[in-house]
Amino acid sequence: MATQTERISLIENLNNHLQSLEGQYVEVSESITHDLQRGHDRHCTTRSGSKFLVERVLWTMSGGMFMIYGAQPFQYSISSGQLIPSN
């Protein structure tokens, strides 16, 4: 489990990276599994993807969400509530 200092650092790093994407096209791809017994298996998933121009990135205190606004109009959110450090 990340300490509060580690979590703040993770959020700051993610914010800096997302801010650097403003003015660029990004592609978001997600897949959600439907069979928790098998883990993430591509045969039991729903997939979605989109590509959009990032106009601005904001972080909201309520729910700790990064809001990514696109030009189409498009909006994508990333929760910062469960970030963990990677090794």
DSSP-derived 3-state class of residue 71: coil
Domain locations along the chain: 4-26+52-79
pLDDT(80) > 80: no
Q: Mean pLDDT across the chain, nearest whole number? A: 82
Helix (H/G/I), strand (E/B), else coil: 85: coil
3-state secondary structure of 14: helix
**Over the stretch 49-76, which tens digit does the pLDDT of each residue have?**
888 899 988 887 667 788 888 877 777 7
Are 64 and 77 contacting, i.e. CB atoms less than 8 angstroms apart?
no
The verdict on pTM exceeding 0.95 is no
